[in-house]
Structure 1
Amino acid sequence: MTNTTATQSPQGSQAGKRDFTDAEILTVMSSRVLDDGKVVFAGVGIPLLAATLAQILRCPGLTILFEGGVVGPFVEPGKLPPSTNEQRCTKRANMVISSTEVLLLLQRGHVDIGFMGGAQIDKYGNLNSSFLGDDPRNPKVRLPGTGGGNDIASLTNMIVAMRHESRRFVEEVDFITSPGFLKGGTSRYDSGLRAGGMFRVITNLGVFGFDEKTRAMKVLALHDGVTLEEVQDNTGFDLLYDKNELGVTAAPTERELQALRELDPDRRYIA
């Protein structure tokens, strides 16, 4: 994967200042960290939009994989699938396989990148999409659950795209649906998860990675006009950062925004 903080944009003039939504900057910045020739396990919504945008603009050899078994789905502009089991995506796809075969691809190391969101993320990149509250038998909020999230996070390098709010960025998630670096340090490796791990977290405020030693979340770059104080105020734990290496992301270009808006003309995901 591109070891970038998205500080540089592809060729093309930049859009006017904040002439884009939070969802659009999430999508564009996520697309920039994807590489040609890789296989990405993408969910619907922003992950699929970002992967498709990368295919259109920079990465024609990027292969998208759906949990439902579609390899290389054809994403028709204006007809975005509502789920990863949507059969319209089989039209002109590279291949259609069973869900069991999808898991085998993961287990055999044929999938490079996992790409999804979550309701909560903690300082070590653990994701929660199961429930909110202390008691799983009586949760405050019941969430969609794991699906293939645990397998994806256990076996691939992960990109997470989500809005940056203190209620989402918490010291410790209520439940680990999809493992990040668990308790930090070598705890992921020691638990038996020898492959993958969290690579990048993309939010409407900036781009984040994880410290090589402690595995705690670290600010890599801020979006234009965003301050460290603003990011910290919207985070429920102390963030690491290096002022000497802190970057500023290049705003989405007009070309990126135009291509993205053509993919989602009804603004179902980028509003």
Structure 2
Amino acid sequence: MSDYTLEELVIARMAKEFRGGLMGVGATILADLSARLAKSLYVPDLFLATISRAVADPDVQAKTFNDEWALDGSARMALGWEEMFRLIAQHKLQIWIGSVQIDRYGASNISVIGDWAAPRAQLIGSRGIPDDLWGCERLNFHMRKQTPKSFVEKVDFVSGFGRDPGTGVNSITPAQPGVVVSDLGVYDYGGPEGAMRVVSLHPGVTFAQAQEMTGFELPDPGAEVPVTAAPTAEELRVIREVIDPSGMRRLESDAGNSRLMRELWDAEIAAVAGG
């Protein structure tokens, strides 16, 4: 990846999953940038919204720490809770979720690690996933780090149902697990009995490496494993010059830390003060 970064590759790949005429939301920095990239280049009728979804249908602008304020100036509407849930209930939402755990059949967890009664770690709670579960056709996932602790046989707590073959044919059908993009590759749930399988691996990643970082057995994709397509020159231009000139995408890289966050924050404050 001499001409682009892993984060730019991930943004470009996730942008390909958005469809027009629907609301596009990204719950991680890279996912949010992918929605902006998609609207810029591929689906001009994509209905952008901030993560709170209060600011809706803004113009494509550079990402900032203050998106709710920065995007409000060009937003064509503001969504209250009632309007937001009406859109979700009418299957108008498509979202990339940043899950802490995801399992073989697509169940996701952002609530606790370990036993519910005595967890090793308390996370943010399931938040909007149960609502999105009944209002989306599918849920896509951005997993920043693929490890056996994040790609698990079975999640510790079910925040969102997956495609479990034991659910039963008479169950109410929730949103199906869609595409999973990690730092190693792209996956979906088209494997045997709806299990996760490899769609493509990022440049330089082997199937053996992906399997080592997965807590369950992946179906063998064979000798010719597809390679995730590199971002185009135009995608890189939009990422670097239009939607993320300050480089906020680096916060979800290996270089992401509190010092980088402070540097970006100080630069943004200085730009506002001087502008």
- The TM-score by the shorter chain falls in which range? 0.7 to 0.9
User: For the Cα contact (< 8 Å) 2:33–2:63, is it kept in 1?
Assistant: no
The answer to whether structure 1 residue 217 and structure 2 residue 201 are counterparts is no
Shift of 1:257: 2.2
The one-letter amino acid paired with 2:154 is E
Question: How many residues were matched structurally?
Answer: 247
* Residue from 212, 222, 234 that aligns with 1:243: 222
* Residue from 106, 128, 132 that aligns with 1:152: 132
Q: Which residue number in structure 2 is paired with residue 120 of structure 1?
A: 101
Q: Which has the larger radius of gyration?
A: 2
User: For the Cα contact (< 8 Å) 1:124–1:217, is it kept in 2?
Assistant: yes
The answer to whether structure 1 residue 106 and structure 2 residue 91 are counterparts is no
Alignment of 1:1-271 (within 5 A): 17-66=1-50, 67-81=52-66, 86-111=68-93, 113-134=94-115, 136-156=116-136, 157-163=138-144, 164-181=146-163, 184-185=164-165, 187=167, 190-192=170-172, 194-211=173-190, 214-243=193-222, 246-262=225-241, 263-270=243-250, 271=253
User: For the Cα contact (< 8 Å) 1:74–1:90, is it kept in 2?
Assistant: no
Q: Which residue number in structure 2 is paired with residue 8 of structure 1?
A: none
User: For the Cα contact (< 8 Å) 2:91–2:135, is it kept in 1?
Assistant: yes
CA–CA separation in structure 1 for the residues paired with 2:217 and 2:236? 33
CA–CA separation in structure 2 for the residues paired with 1:69 and 1:218? 35
CA–CA separation in structure 1 for the residues paired with 2:169 and 2:181? 24
Higher relative contact order (CA 8 A, sep 6+): 1
Residues 258 and 91 of structure 1: is their aligned pair in 2 closer, same or farther, counting only changes over 3 Å?
A: same
Residues 103 and 35 of structure 1: is their aligned pair in 2 closer, same or farther, counting only changes over 3 Å?
A: same
Q: Which residue number in structure 1 is paired with residue 256 of structure 2?
A: none
CA–CA separation in structure 2 for the residues paired with 1:106 and 1:251? 33
CA–CA separation in structure 2 for the residues paired with 1:130 and 1:189? 27
User: For the Cα contact (< 8 Å) 1:80–1:264, is it kept in 2?
Assistant: no
Tell me which stretches of 4 or more aligned residues in structure 1 moved more than 4 Å: none
CA–CA separation in structure 1 for the residues paired with 2:72 and 2:107? 32
Normalising by the residue count of structure 2, what TM-score does the alignment of the two structures yield?
0.80
Shift of 1:71: 2.3
User: For the Cα contact (< 8 Å) 1:219–1:239, is it kept in 2?
Assistant: yes
Q: Which one has a larger percent helix, Structure 1 or Structure 2? A: 2
Shift of 1:254: 3.0
User: For the Cα contact (< 8 Å) 1:185–1:213, is it kept in 2?
Assistant: no
Shift of 1:106: 1.2
Helix, strand or coil at the partner of 2:40: helix
Shift of 1:229: 0.4
CA–CA separation in structure 1 for the residues paired with 2:166 and 2:154? 17
The one-letter amino acid paired with 1:102 is M
User: For the Cα contact (< 8 Å) 2:211–2:217, is it kept in 1?
Assistant: yes
Helix, strand or coil at the partner of 2:91: coil
Which deviates further from its counterpart, 194-203 or 114-123? 194-203
Shift of 1:103: 1.6
C-alpha deviations, 1:64-101, integer Å up to 9, x for none? 2444433213452152546xxx3443222132121232
